[in-house]
A and B are shown apart, each in its own frame.
Chain A
Amino acid sequence: MLNFAARQAGRLAVGILGTVAIAAAISAIAEPRAHGLLPFLEAAASRLAHFLQFNLGTSAITGLSAAHELGQRLPPTLLLVLGGGAIALVVGVPLGLLFGAGPVRRAAAPLMQIVTAAPVFCAGLALAYGAGHLLHWPLSVNMPSGAPVAPDEALRIAALPVLTVGLAGAAAVQLALRRAASLSSGAAFRTGLKRLGLGALEIERLYVVPQVLAGLVASAGEIMLALLSAAVVAEWVFNRPGAADLFVKSVALHDWNMTALILVVFAGLSFATDFLGSLAGFVFANEGQP
């Protein structure tokens, strides 16, 4: 256990350090004097040194401190990702379990392909269209950000992006589940234990389900990637000012300092989820074992 944790922690540290180094290189592009390889490397090294001292520089657009800017934009994105994650679990786990096991397993694969083929932005626009035309919700796609809205409508407006992110996450969740389930579906021990005298339900409950759940938890990093990716699109589609939206704008306006910072935060988020997920998956899979 300790060995495994240490290895994973090592991966986490290397990953985050690597991301920080790459981010330093990106933000060094912003340095006006960094032409040619050597000056560029020098600039990157000095940026890296600044990063490691938590001196994160300023945004080229607003001139404000990048950290301050991000501090304002990150919470809505995190809320979006968290809410989307919750929906992903609520929708994805039953779907994954249903389609991952039992007689529908084979038929499920092409069906899920069709459902998950829609890119997130199409799904988001479709959701907005449906909500507007069928449920008569207030239109939010073309609403300018920061427009005043009534408090009861704010909730409905917030629901759509969360739902979009959640559905994208649900696709990732069910995929991870089905992958884990397919690993043990043909395992010899199922018939072996049945012949030895255990009941089918007992075998599923004790030896199969924990493995499948462990597989799900272990792919937490992957699910996080799907959620972050969807958050970018959802914030753009629904005009939500968040960190993901800020990233797109920063790249478009060549604000490399800001870009680098957001990149580090997102990569760190996915590394951390991956780390926690693989630890939890390990514990799950080895339930009660030292």
Chain B
Amino acid sequence: MSTALETPVPLLRTVSRAAGWGGLGLIAITVALSDFLAREPAGTRGAGPMLSVPSEVYPFGTDLLGRDMLSETLHGLSQTAGHALIGAVAAIILGGLFGAVAARLPRPFSASLRGMMGIFAAVPALLLTILLIGLTARGFAPLMAGLAAAPFAFVRAFDHVDLASLHAEYARATGIPAMTLLRRDLTYEFRETLASIAARALAAVAIILSTASFLGFGAEPPARDLGLMIAAAKSSYYTAWWTAAFPALALLMLILCARLAAGLEEGERP
């Protein structure tokens, strides 16, 4: 009997994925515990000395207003991660909806829908997000980032679903109902990659959102957001590196973990 082996997953890939998910888990725990871990509650006016270097009392130093950077970074991380999650969920739902509809419409409609998505995809997602935030209320920033990232989720999720594929055609010819085929696509495309898509969307939305806040769109000053904190540190970081370095590091870890968790890089699907 012939026994073809399944292609083995390279160890490195498994390890890096596990590390990514582990990191995301740690971030989630940190965010959940941030109120306990942070010395100062969110939104307090600083009580410490201005721009103090990292020390035993202030492990991450203090900022211009004398706030503890450790607490600030923790609050910023929870806000950024939370908003990125909302945005990623929005991106997946919107993208999935677009994709599922586009893949199932008759050819001319599906082509024109894809063409419309193409127009949005021709504008950098960052600019689109800024525009959308500018057009709407700022509170919707995460949703808008998700909307701007939706074409990306859309393309990824339904790349593989090819209704003209022979097996789909044979399935229809043997009376497999369209709903079963849709379920097939959903279970097999999504069960395999929903986690990856979610993680990748999380990374993309985190970048877009924090960049938008950095540029002044999205979170507004009383709220703590990593992008906003880095923007605020722009005037001081040259002499007080810790004001920008720790929020940037937190942001970097969030993005890196999400990307590693997503596993294969775009286009590197087996």
Contacts and interface: CB of A to CB of B under 8 A. Distances in A.
Interface string B225-267: 0010010001101100100100010011001100110001111
Contacts of B119: 15, 18-19, 22, 267
Interface stretch (A64-72, A86-94, A245-253, A281-289): A245-253
Given A18-B116, A119-B211, A247-B130, A175 B216 contact: no
B268 interface: yes
B159 to A, nearest CB: 13
Chain A interface main SS type? helix
Chain B interface main SS type? helix
A231 B29 CA distance: 36
A126 B248 CA distance: 10
Interface residues of A, number: 53
Given A117-B255, A117-B256, A139-B238, A270 B267 contact: no
Nearest to B116: A18
A132 B239 CA distance: 11
Given A106-B12, A122-B230, A129-B238, A236 B215 contact: yes
B210 interface: yes
Contacts of B118: 11, 15
Contacts of B214: 121, 233, 236
Contacts of A19: 119, 122-123
Contact of B123 (A117, A141, A267): A267
B267 A182 contact: yes
Interface in A234-274: 236-237, 247-248, 251-252, 254, 259, 263, 266-267, 270-271, 274
A141 B248 CA distance: 17
B135 interface: yes
A53 interface: no
B200 to A, nearest CB: 11
B16 interface: yes
A210 B207 CA distance: 33
Interface in B195-231: 203, 207, 210-211, 214-217, 227, 230
A106 B270 CA distance: 12
Contact of A129 (B10, B127, B241): B241
B72 to A, nearest CB: 17
A233 B215 CA distance: 8
A117 B252 contact: yes
A274 B122 contact: yes
Nearest to A274: B122
B266 A179 contact: yes
Interface residues of B, number: 47
Contacts of B265: 109, 112-113, 175, 178-179
B128 to A, nearest CB: 9
A165 to B, nearest CB: 12
A225 B118 CA distance: 13
A121 B126 contact: no
Given A229-B127, A252-B217, A109 B266 contact: no
Given A125-B237, A125-B244, A228-B124, 12 more contacts: A15-B118, A18-B115, A22-B119, A110-B260, A142-B235, A182-B268, A221-B122, A229-B124, A236-B214, A248-B215, A251-B133, A266-B127
Interface of A: 11, 14-15, 18-19, 22, 26, 29, 106-107, 109-110, 112-114, 117-122, 125-126, 129, 132, 139, 141-142, 175, 178-179, 182, 221, 225-226, 228-229, 232-233, 236-237, 247-248, 251-252, 254, 259, 263, 266-267, 270-271, 274
Interface of B: 10, 12-13, 16, 115-116, 118-119, 122-127, 130-131, 133-135, 203, 207, 210-211, 214-217, 227, 230, 234-235, 237-238, 241, 244, 248, 251-252, 255-256, 259-260, 264-268
